[in-house]
Structure 1
Amino acid sequence: MRIVALFGTESGNAEEVAVGIAKAVPGVEVMNMADADPGVFEKGTLYLIACATHGGGELPGFAQFLHDDLAELRPDLDGVRYAMFGLGDTSYDERYLRGAKQFDELLRSLGAARIGPFGEHDVMTGSEPAEVGVAWVRDVLAGIGP
């Protein structure tokens, strides 16, 4: 099975998560949402999506472009599987993880299936995003079996 760690970031934390996942799980490809278009989502590939929340609850810039393209084109993503990991700051209250939640809502509305737990990293904990992301992805992969 092909696995892609797809990330959307402003500060680099989501990229750190994707790279950490690729180091921990052999064969995982890393892709920046800045380099992706709606055709990136293919059946038979598992997407491990790490998406930050920027500013007051927005998606990072290039993640917003991909989100908008998907929302406009509305491709059929039936058969596409993904897991979602959000990065944010709980001091933003209801806007915490809003970027990842927006992406998650859109993918589900297009027919993609989220697997595993919705992962999260809160900057207020002081924990390393990549360490939290790797622990999350191990749970996701353990849930789908060999």
Structure 2
Amino acid sequence: MSVVILYGTETGNGELVADAIADVLAADHDPSIYDMSEFSVDDLDPADFLVVVCSTYGEGELPSGAEPFAEELDDVQPDLTGVRFAVFGLGDRVYGETFNRGGEIMAEKLTARGAQQVGEHGRHDNSSAVKPAGQATEWARSIAAVVEPVNAS
């Protein structure tokens, strides 16, 4: 099973987190990383495990890098039955109710189309002393357990 990691970012932290997750999953999987702005909904494949990394921008909105993919999900309305995914969100608790809303929006859009979210929804808090890539590395280890290794049959 291949792993597709999509990231949506405004400042670049999402890409760094996606790289950290890929490093962990590379031991038993074949991860590919894509900027959400350069990935087509038509390329979603139930045979792949999807990891979504998404920051939160402004007052709880998606970052500009995630908007084209999210809009395409809404426009195309693909049947994503069989797609399994996990989400790692980036946000800041100082924003209260909109903390980590970007990742939640992406999870809602995917599940509304029939995809199944698995594992713990990772939520990094930029107000904490924990670095996003460090937390993502720990989170990815837990996600690795729910993804079939490439060599499994």
**TM-score, normalised with respect to structure 2:** 0.91
Residues 25 and 144, structure 2, Cα contact 8 Å, conserved in 1 = no
Q: How many residues align?
A: 146
The superposition leaves residues 36-56 of structure 1 with CA deviations (integer Å, 9 ceiling, x where unpaired) of: 121121111001111000111
4+ runs deviating over 3 angstroms: 143-146
C-alpha separation in 2, matches of 1:139 and 1:75: 28
Aligned residue type for 1:43: P
Once the two structures are aligned, what percentage of the paired residues are identical? 36
The superposition leaves residues 46-105 of structure 1 with CA deviations (integer Å, 9 ceiling, x where unpaired) of: 011110001111101131121011111100000111101110000000000111111100
1:29 — aligned with what? 32
Residues 87 and 121, structure 2, Cα contact 8 Å, conserved in 1 = yes
1:65 — aligned with what? 68
C-alpha separation in 1, matches of 2:147 and 2:44: 19
2:48 pairs with 1:45: yes
- What are the ranges of 5 or more consecutive residues in structure 2 without an aligned counterpart? none
**TM-score, normalised with respect to structure 1:** 0.95
Q: Which has the higher helix share?
A: 1
2:84 — aligned with what? 81
Aligned residue type for 2:52: I
1:113 — aligned with what? 116
- What are the ranges of 5 or more consecutive residues in structure 1 without an aligned counterpart? none
Aligned residue type for 1:99: G
2:132 pairs with 1:96: no
Q: CA RMSD in A?
A: 1.2
C-alpha separation in 1, matches of 2:148 and 2:76: 33
Aligned residue type for 1:5: I
1:8 — aligned with what? 8
Residues 56 and 99, structure 2, Cα contact 8 Å, conserved in 1 = yes
